[in-house]
Structure 1
Amino acid sequence: MTFTSTSEPVSHDVIRQMMMRAATVAAQALTDTEQAPEGRLRTLMESHGEVLAARGPGQPLPFESFLAMLTGDLARLLPDGVSPEEMTGVHLINDDGLFEEDLFDLDQEQREVARAVQKATRDGRSTSLTEIEQEMDQVTVNSGLRKRGTQDAYAKGRSDLSRLPAGTETEVRRLNLPSVVGQFYRPINYAALYEQWWFACPACRWPMKITRHRSRKSVTGRVRCFYRPHAELMGASYTFKIPDAGKPPALIPGSPPPAPTGAASVLAHDLRGSVPQPLPAAGYLALARGPWRYTTVPGLLEIALYDALISRGFVVAPEPHMSRAALGVGADCPGTVTVWPYLDAYDLHVDVWQRGDERESFLLDIKDFTSEKLLAKKIQADGGDDAAEWIIVPDYREASLPLLRGVCEEFGLKVTTAGEIGQRICRTAGIRWA
């Protein structure tokens, strides 16, 4: 699929965003059995009204039909003539009758595209986008970290949010984060609780979703990371037998997924033998979902790539383009790596030293969108990337590369996976990656 700046009216993006938000709220209400029935009905009726507004007066949709469509392909809700794009094949409710968590990601990613389009649009043509635009939590987090003004303070704050997305009140307090950032650590969400217990994902350390499943003979529990790749591709998915009253569940791991091979194996999480233990809700805090999904999750990959290069002999540089002499290292050092340089102008700057002070530089921006179509639109709306030369996606999103390459070429950007860029950097430095 090829994206061009005139391929689709902006209004179609707005319609999809309105539909996604209304349908997401409705699907959550439809599946939330803990909410009072009258509250669920009120939410469903309000969402139905928003869907009707998005469809327009010429395409009515009875309430009963709206409810039936919530369990099917989301694209069916769109009015005639609106291309489904990133909504193609998306289901709001999964086969177990539960709300599909990827809908949160798509909603947030649509907002990012809206922000980028609004920023790039002139002559007042972005009014409708401005009206629906909402400041996202992770934008506030990053702005709060920048206010401290120094590169070291910013990098420490970003690293802390990735390494400790949930912890005790004491642990969070010791991070010494700016108050505008610290406010996003909140009590454990009820969706991640079994009575007073919760479990941290072994891949990201954020509270995992807990659900109960009833059959005619028994009730069983399921615990899985809210982030689908952690649950399905890394093994952060468990079951448990309902324990006696007052006792925490004991998790049973599922069958381990196949381990990544080749260049992707270096950055892969190995969760085998790692079974999360129950933690009490009292005294613990966790990041709000927006900062966790769009600061913690991609931050883990940024840190993993950074750590992998350090372990292979690269040295930490306070800023890019520093010489061997300035850092006090010898000719056997392959190069330097800087994380979130220039207060997060991009994610990683790697200099591979060659003869003398000559170097080959890699300026990397790591992107982890659930929808590659929305990522492609954002890159196009941004006009490429102001600072980075490479767009890097997680290895498990390798299938998105053909689409992204078609868009990135227009702006002189290169795109590949995290494992492949690590291998390319090490090959340039004459050392082994995998």
Structure 2
Amino acid sequence: MPPSIVPAVELSNSPAGVGLSDAAVRHMVMAAAAMAAKALTDTEQPPEGRLRTLMDAHGRILAARAPGRPLTFTVFRELLSGDLSRLLPETVPAEEMEGVRLITPDGAFEEDFFDLEIEQRVVLRALAKTTRDGRPTSTQILEAEMDQDRVFSALRKRMDQDAYVHGRSSLIRTPAGSDKELRRLNLPSSVAEFYRPVAFDSVWDRWWFACPVCRWPMRVTLHAGRGGARTGSVRCFHRPHAAWGADFTFKIPDLGRPPALVPLSVPVRPAGEQAVLFPDLGGKMPEPVPVEGHKALTRGVWRWTTVPGLVEIALYDALAARGLSPVLWPELDAYDLHVEVGRGREAAEFRIDVKDYTSAILLAKKVQADGGDKGGAEWLVVPDYRASSLELLTSVSREFGMKAATAGGIGALICRKAGVAWQ
């Protein structure tokens, strides 16, 4: 979508029913389709259970499409393997769902759904504050409180800036670990409760593997080969991390032994201003870690605190290493990073908010719904791997007196203003 026509989302005469916006319809369809796609690809689940889930999801899709726009169960099942925008009513623009597929070519469930669904929900919640006198667009969708909101509230409870920075940094630097390691973090119990047993999807027998980029448990998948032979793969749930090298394969080991990982590819280090923040994995292979006695953050907290936080901390560390004095999460997270450089007429101030959205369209709508940045940030910064979203975000940010940049780009700009080298 060209940046000049990013729409401000408003309630419309959606076919899903009175009062539902197009955004709410897309979320309903996306969530139901994902439920069905997960069941369709879950060969470990009994057939009758999979069928019940598919029928439930079909009913939800029909409710979103409304009477007069029928969709047979057979066609619904076929469409699950293609472009999900075809499940939407004809009157609802596809926007962020254009080209989205929940089932990969090899028949596996596409984990990127998690990011997109949460991003849709965040936009809906923001829109709910500006529509229908503040009443939610869809009560069922919007009332559920997300984990990261609860975590941030718990961290702010003491109204202590140092304690907030320590707690949030801990969630970013240590998203998983042994019970002993986690106790050493000395987090409030209301925050520590978001560390849970390692999820089944990340376990092989009795072991799990930490992503070399984010340190959170990676997904373990088995694959059937020729002649019934099986192999396994271990891959970070965050696609950019997998592209950076957190993507491995392994042969099925002897009973009782952990698998030995083999990297699928060697990432190419970027050149220019992006090279500074590119993670150095050091060629080390993830070691098998026992499930017993270890915990990991819930997926929501990892995705919306740890993942973007890695960029925030990397930028902070890089600027500090160059002799500058950045401040993390000032005023209990009014925004993410504050930097002042120069003196007198040459002085410059940077108030930065880092966002990592899978969908640039949804991030643009979030900026529109919020009317810019509530905390006073003047720079909207995205990770270097989201550079393709910059044109759209620059156009939208300009409406609210903000600017957009990549993390490497803003780091280079700050250093130029300070008269120091970025690269």
Provide the TM-score with structure 1 as the length reference.
Answer: 0.92
1:364 has 2:352 as partner: yes
Q: In the alignment, which of 46, 50, 57 is matched to residue 67 of structure 2?
A: 57
Structure 1 SS opposite 2:204: coil
Query: In 2, are the aligned partners of 1:256 and 1:272 still within 8 Å (CA)?
Result: no
In the alignment, what sits opposite 1:130? 139
1:29–1:43 CA contact under 8 A, matched in 2 = yes
Distance 2:109 2:230 in 1: 19
Q: Does 1:3 align with 2:6?
A: yes
C-alpha distance in structure 2 between counterparts of 1:292 and 1:395, whole Å: 19
Match of 1:374 in 2: 362
SS at 1:120 equivalent: coil
* 1:229 and 2:240 are equivalent in the alignment: yes
Counterpart for residue 353 of structure 1: 342
5 Å-filtered alignment, 1:119-198, equals 119-123=129-133, 126-133=135-142, 134-198=144-208
The answer to whether residue 330 in structure 2 is matched with residue 341 in structure 1 is yes
CA distance in 2, matches of 1:75, 1:4: 18
What are the equivalent positions in structure 2 for 1:306-317 lying under 5 Å apart? 306-314=316-324
Contact 1:220/1:239 (CA < 8 Å) preserved in 2? yes
Q: TM-score, normalised by structure 2?
A: 0.94
Taking the TM superposition and a 5 Å limit, the aligned residue runs for 1:24-103 are 24-103=34-113
CA-CA distance at 1:255 after TM superposition: 1.9
AA matched with 1:426: C
More moved, 127-136 vs 277-286: 127-136
- Count of matched residue pairs: 410
Letter in 1 for 2:37: A
The two structures, once aligned, show a CA RMSD in angstroms of 1.5
| Structure 1 CA distance for aligned equivalents of residues 256 and 274 of structure 2 | 43
Report if aligned partners of 1:118, 1:130 keep a CA contact under 8 Å in 2. no
Give the CA deviation at 1:271.
Answer: 2.4
Change (3 A) 1:6 1:135: closer
Alpha-carbon shift at residue 51 of structure 1 (Å): 0.7
Query: What's the secondary structure of 1:123's corresponding residue?
Result: helix
| Alpha-carbon distance in 2 for matches of 1:252, 1:338 | 39
Matched, 1:199 2:187: no
Alpha-carbon distance in structure 2 between the residues aligned to 1:6 and 1:109: 15
- Over the matched positions of the two proteins, sequence identity in percent amounts to 58
Q: Once the 2 structures are TM-superposed, how far is the Cα of residue 68 of structure 1 from its aligned partner?
A: 1.2
Partner of 1:260: 270
Structure 1 position 415 matched with structure 2 position 422? no
Contact 2:341–2:418 under 8 Å retained in 1: yes
Which shifted more, 53-62 or 7-16? 7-16
Q: Does residue 305 of the first structure (1) align with residue 315 of the second (2)?
A: yes
Task: Tell me which residue corresponds to 2:293.
Answer: 283
Instruction: Give the 3-state SS of the residue equivalent to 1:260 in structure 2.
Output: coil
Q: Which secondary structure state, in structure 2, belongs to the residue aligned with residue 300 of structure 1? A: helix
Q: Describe the superposition over 1:366-389 as per-residue Cα deviations: whole angstroms up to 9, x where unpaired.
A: 000000000000000000012100
In the TM superposition, structure 1's runs of 4+ consecutive aligned residues that sit over 6 Å from their partners are none
Tell me the CA shift for residue 6 of structure 1: 5.9
Q: Report the 3-state secondary structure (helix = DSSP H, G, I; strand = E; otherwise coil) of the residue aligned with 2:129.
A: helix
Q: Provide the rounded CA distance (Å) in 2 between the counterparts of 1:136 and 1:75.
A: 26
Gaps of 5+ in 1: 315-335
Aligned equivalents of 1:6 and 1:63: distance in 2?
31
Distance 2:398 2:321 in 1: 32
Q: Which amino acid aligns with 1:365?
A: D
Following the alignment from structure 1 to structure 2, what is the Cα–Cα distance between the partners of residues 188 and 383?
A: 39
**2:378 is matched with which residue?**
389
User: Helix, strand or coil: the match of 1:230?
Assistant: helix
2:262 and 2:344 mapped to 1: Cα distance?
54
Secondary structure of 1:277 counterpart = coil
Conserved in 1, the CA contact under 8 Å of 2:10 and 2:21? no
The amino acid of 1:385's aligned partner reads D
